[in-house]
Structure 1
Amino acid sequence: MKRTLLALSIGSALAAPALAQQADPHIRTFAYSPDRVQRLTGFMGFQTMLEFGPDERIENVSIGDAMGWQVTPNKRANLLFLKPVDRAPATNMTVVTDRRRYVFELVVAAPRASTADAAYVVRFRYPQAAPIAVAAAPAKPAPTARNTAYSLQGAATLRPSIVFDDGVSTYFAWPEQADLPAIFVVGADGVEGLANAVVRDGYLVVDQLAPRFVLRSDKASATIANGAYGARAEKAR
């Protein structure tokens, strides 16, 4: 009898770590489907990391309400960091990678909602069938005739080490260990919107020119002004 109890005790002790290692409720895994709109609930003061397939690279991110959410890719372009910055109404976001496309509905949790329901990491489980092909973007010309007439103001921690344009696209680079901020484009009319940025050849590239860009991370911000915008914009037309 004692041997049986001892065996049960040891078995329970060995099983306990396994139970403890079961999925954390803050880490969610969803079955991927190109025809599914995935609902994500954001909590003020918390960020969610979207983790795409290890063989995928983010090419485009488009969001309905760019002012209500901060969206930032990592340098390898396989992770996307998402967090609400305002209690804005629900909106949508589309992410296109070089292998798949994802559609999300974004909502902000009520002020008194329990953060126990917050998703810190969102992953996807993929079917064995071949992924949906996404048309490759046309090749961009190598950066030539660089315009480096950019001035920077604001938080020093957000300022890129390199910023220039080639008359078509604007290129940003940060030190190796730096966190990438969200990039916003300020048009000639002063209207601000989230930039459609992709990682390419070691740069975070915005495929347009603009008189100003705004970088944001949490409450910090920095402004980058294009001193040659007028002349470059005319040539790009």
Structure 2
Amino acid sequence: EVIDVASGFTQGWEFLASDNILYFKPKSVRMGGSGQEGRTMEPTAGTWDTNLMVRTNRRMYDFDLKLLSSAGNSGKALQNQRVAYRVEFQYPEDEAASRAKASEKAKTQVKLDEKVAPRNWAYSMQVGDASDGIAPTMAYDDGRFTYLKFPNNRDFPSVFLVAADKSESLVNTHVEKDVLVIQRVAREMVLRLGNAVVGVYNDKYDIDGVPPTDGTTVPGVKRVIVGGKQE
């Protein structure tokens, strides 16, 4: 990121910094003083040369700015190896670090996208009156989350955890493709949508389940805190 810009002829050049990009161009200079009629000097090749120092949050740069004239009367830009309309710096070590980070992120995403093997398929349900529309066609858990599959083109119900005293509490869920993922494993849950209700029972409930390792249940993936945010 560009932090500061300095030049020996700031009156004759216009600078504009935007993030890690610096734009600049020559500009006319208004001349004149007390008792003298003011006049304007236009940018002229050979007289507008100056130095340029750029400080970023990582490095310092020094440049020579030279204003070149157009070639002859044709108006074509001067074909000269010294002319640069855009200068871009590339650093092998930064690019290597960026590629390594992108590769590691891609590997992590692949692991996150991999389906965790089911541990328990022993589920049963009790369907209330006129509640077939929210009855799952498949249910299993991986020791951490519970997965319910429903017929196509159906609205997903809300999911409630049933406690030992039969009180109910709403459970967080998310959707993976056409599967409703319940972020809990429980002995009993209730699905509700309008007046429809379905009880879902874990017939082989394991109270211990699968404990998270390194903050996640995905093997090979570790959750760390970066800048106050979990990654």
Both proteins in one fold, TM over 0.5: no
Higher RCO (C-alpha 8 Å, min separation 6):
1
The structure that has the greater radius of gyration is 2
